[in-house]
A and B are shown apart, each in its own frame.
Chain A
Amino acid sequence: DGGITQSPKYLFRKEGQNVTLSCEQNLNHDAMYWYRQDPGQGLRLIYYSQIVNDFQKGDIAEGYSVSREKKESFPLTVTSAQKNPTAFYLCASSIDGRNQPQHFGDGTRLSIL
C-alpha cells in the first residue's frame, strides 16, 4: 500500500544536539511538507518542497533545516538553535501542491531529555 512513513515514532534529544526526523513516501507525490503540532495551536508549517533539490521556508523555519535530494524523501533536522523543540512533528505530501489535499504520516513525537 502507498503511504508516508515517518520514523522514529518517538525521539529524545539532549540539550545542544541536532536530531533528524525521517519522512519517506511511495505515493509518487511531487510536494512534501513538514508541520509542527502543539496543543491548541493546530498545525504550523515549517518547510515545504515542491520539487527535488528545492524547498521553501514555512511560517516557523527558524531552528530547522531540510533537504530534498530524492523525490520520495524529505528529512527534517531539528537543530540546537531550536530552543523549544518538544512537539509532535507531521510530514505530509500531495500530488503537485496547488489546492490538493495532503496525505499525512503518523508523526514523530520529539521530547527533550
Chain B
Amino acid sequence: AQSVTQLGSHVSVSEGALVLLRCNYSSSVPPYLFWYVQYPNQGLQLLLKYTSAATLVKGINGFEAEFKKSETSFHLTKPSAHMSDAAEYFCAVSENTDKLIFGTGTRLQVFP
C-alpha cells in the first residue's frame, strides 16, 4: 500500500536560509509524486510534480525536489527562504490510481 511520511510537522528557518522539507514514500510501483502548498484558509496549490521524466523537478516560487529511488525520498528544497514562503506544505503520492495519498503536512515558519 502506498503511503507518505513527512518528517517534522514544523520547520523554522531564517529569511535567506535554505529550506528543506522532507518527504518519504512507500510504493510498490514507480510512483507519481507531488508537492502542494497551502496558505491559511485557502486550498492547496500545486508546487511541482514528479512523473519519471527527470529526477530533479523544478517548480514554482523557486522550489525544487529531487526523486531518490534508493532512499524512497522526494524532499523539497529552496535555496533562500522568503517571508512569503511561510505556509503549510504537503507531499502526496499516486500509485497508478485515481487517488492521491497525502502526508500530514509540514508548517514552514520564516523568521526575519
- Complex: A41 Cα to B98 Cα, angstroms: 21
**Contact, CB under 8 Å: A98 / B42:** no
Interface string of A15-55 (1 = CB under 8 A from B): 00000000000000001010000001111010010100000
The reply to whether A43 and B42 contact each other, CB–CB distance below 8 Å, is no
Please indicate the chain B residues that have their CB under 8 angstroms from the CB of A31 in the complex: 98
CB-CB contacts below 8 Å: B30-71 with A: 32, 34, 36, 41-46, 49, 51
- Please, how many angstroms separate the alpha-carbon atoms of A6 and B36 in the complex? 19
A107 at the interface (CB under 8 A from B): yes
Q: Is B104 an interface residue (CB 8 A)?
A: yes
Contacts of B98 in A (CB 8 A): 31, 48, 50, 97-98
Chain A residues with Cβ below 8 Å from B51 are 99
Residue of B with least CB distance to A10: B41
What is the total number of residues of chain B having a CB less than 8 Å from a CB of chain A? 23
- CB of B90 within 8 A of chain A? yes
Q: With the chains together, A4 CA to B43 CA distance in Å?
A: 10
Q: How far is the CB of B39 from chain A (nearest CB, A)?
A: 10
Q: Which of A45-72 contact B (CB under 8 A)?
A: 45, 48, 50, 58
Residues in chain A within 8 A of chain B (CB atoms):
4, 6, 31, 33, 40-43, 45, 48, 50, 58, 90, 92, 97-107, 109
Other than A41-B104, A90-B43, A101-B46, give 14 A-B pairs with Cβ distance below 8 A: A4-B43, A6-B43, A40-B105, A42-B102, A43-B44, A48-B98, A50-B98, A92-B44, A97-B98, A99-B96, A104-B36, A104-B45, A105-B43, A106-B43
